[in-house]
Chain A
Amino acid sequence: MKLTYEPVIGLEIHGELLTNSKMFCSCSADYGSAPEPNTNICPTCTGLPGAMPVVNKKATELAALVGLALNCSINKHNTFARKNYYYPDLPKGYQISQYELPIAEKGLLEVNDGSDNQLNVRVRRVHIEEDTAKLAHEKNYALVDFNRAGVPLLEIVSEPDIRTVEAALDYATKVRTILRYLGVNSGDMEKGVLRFEANISVRPVGSDEFRTRTEIKNLNSFRALVRASQYEIERQIKIYEEGGTVVQETLGWDDVRGVTTSQRSKEEAHDYRYFPEPDLPPLQLSDSWIAEIKSRLPELPEAKTSRFISDFGLTLSEARFLTSERTLANYFESVVSKSKSPAKTIHSWIAGEFMRYLNDSGLSIDDVTLAPETLAKLIDMVTDKTIGASAGKTVLTELFKNGGDPAQIVKEKNLLQMTDVNAIQEIVMKILNDNPKEVDDYNAGKETLFQWFMGQVARATKGKADPNVTKELMVKGLEERKK
């Protein structure tokens, strides 16, 4: 009988922390807006002889905030360490990181395994370190830009508790959402502010052994995470099925060819020679300091989702969508509080026309200038049938483009809904009279034509006719012409 295999996955997530200054010096951490290379630099972040690091307080606070959000315990006594290796992007010849005592450890995150089962993934540790410089490889040489050197990084390491690629994706997505909620990382994968590393092994289902794992480095999108993991799982299964053994190694992901490639074998693996950083005394965090950081924790996505379900009667997927971004959730709640319409309706507008407009225009929720009260006003006009749904869409587009007041736009564009039954009746009759062939076809059984008739009314009234009234009259009119 053929064995079935399951993957054992652990994820490392590296995220830059949104601080003004670098981790160990006062240079600006905003390397993205630096006018040119090597402008945000000083003796410390370029590793000049004698320069010393000083811990960025803000980064410590943000790291603790993440630790608390991931249900970790905070180490009141935590230490920095030197991770030694040579590379031109590492000016000191060592990276200052945390090793034995990270700022936070032993956390927990609930994720979905892809089959609607929830599972707990343990977070092994959250630690602070510094980013490297950026290399630009030319033909016979490479250029080094130290603007990024020393930017605060957070590393979040999970235990190997993940058993499906879907769960890995959900874990990564949830961590990204939490980082964005906390305002500690923009989550902008394209800019490289968040990177994943997957540790993967496979074993026969039912076994509890941990087999040799490989480590895939530098996965810089969710898509890469999923594809690389799937590829690597299949590669390892194939090796076992052919009677081979998996070699412990560090792999890269070739996104173009869709394959993992060997970078370093176990024998070639770096010995980082970690030891406590003698230039930095241990960080001593008091209970009151931790309590103060804890008080800054916002409502996190999971809690918000539950609340949206119970307070607003939304489904799980509706609530998940709205809470995927803190700003989106806040926007939704703000509209709800200003509107007389049901929350469900507001969700439909936001998930529908509102998002469609943003996606089509390449905008994000953070770019939206449309005031929640304005959107609330518009939705209420549809709800109380002052205007029709399609007119509402027209007004929304106008609001996005030029701003203004919904009532004013409705007036200017003459979009008030036709609710006069006689007027609508007149139009319905005209359409039925003008299209005898379609009426015959409909009555002969081609029922799909009904929408076509409705469309003709919408066209004739520029979408202003009350759709319920129209529908009623149309059904009646067609019925009358049935012989």
Chain B
Amino acid sequence: MSDPRPHLLKRGPLLLTALLLCALPFYLDAFWLRIGLFSMAAAIGAVGLGLLSGTAGQLSLGHAFFLAVGAYGYVWLAGEPGPGLPPAVALVLAVLLAGAAGGLFSPVAGRVKGIYLGVATLALVFLGHHVLLTADSVTGGFNGRSVPPLELGGFTFAESGPELTVLGVPFGAEERLWYLGLALFAVTWFTARGLLRGRPGRALVALRDSETAASVMGVHVARYRSAAFVVSSMYAGLAGVLLALSFRRVVPDYFSLALSVDYLAMIVIGGLGSVAGATAGAVFVTALPLLMTRYADQLPLVAAPGSGDGSIGPTEASRYLYGAAIVVILLYAPDGLHGLASRTRARLRRRPPATRPGGTGPVTAGTATHATSDTTARAKEHTP
């Protein structure tokens, strides 16, 4: 919680990463940028789901629905047919719309807990999909709608704008959207970490670990459950907008149950309850199928897309792979990539001063120096 290290040293790696991410469009081609863009969009959504499922312990299978609300909300608000609002306004309103949709569901989300909420939200996905297919005038039906590009103060985040060349690198849609994605992801990172480390985050963790303890400590259980759901929906909405902008076309079939499951896979692989973990999981789950499609011809056992000779296509292969990743992670690192990373970091830091025999489990750095009489990790006890 309180870190004695000086500010700059603590922020150093973060700043370096940010700088590196800003420099990437000058070196990578559109294919890699697109992977990055989809990863950033997924990361925003995964952070939202992580807040709900990882931190507050509420399972949601309806994440795809809120992504759809964000994506279609933006398309409708900014496009024709629709009010044709300025795209920047449409973006904000689409996020709020997703939040409002979450709010409408809050009588359920506030009362139903854990896996039961998962079942309740399942209905949302099917309902949403049905509406997307049938409400032709708003959603464009089966064929979906094309996405109006985002414009901000005369700058267009798409190819259509005036030619733009920065330091000899032509800035097409991918390059421009990359910075938009980065900015939106930075907002997500900043706000989500603020939430988690602040009063609401602690209340949500308490709700997850013991509803009884949370309530006698003054946490309004139903209100916090609903709020977690609304906030999670808003992140999903934002992710939806960014996805729509990256795809340039929204179609109903994308927002299916499989998408919700993908997002669950992201937060499980990344590690529940952490922003960095959700991000890592999102990159993994998003990038894997795209990479496998691209390099299908060089991979053993994977057929090139569209070859249709009965062997495994790259999409299926990547699904198998991340299915396997989930199994491995649940077995060997239940706290996901994030837990794995922090354990490794703790071990590296501990090594120089003393050679302590045997791993001591998930010890964060700095705690190992406290000489407690009994340092073995014990399972948490729960109230009846």
A binds B: no
A residues in contact (CB < 8 Å) with B: none
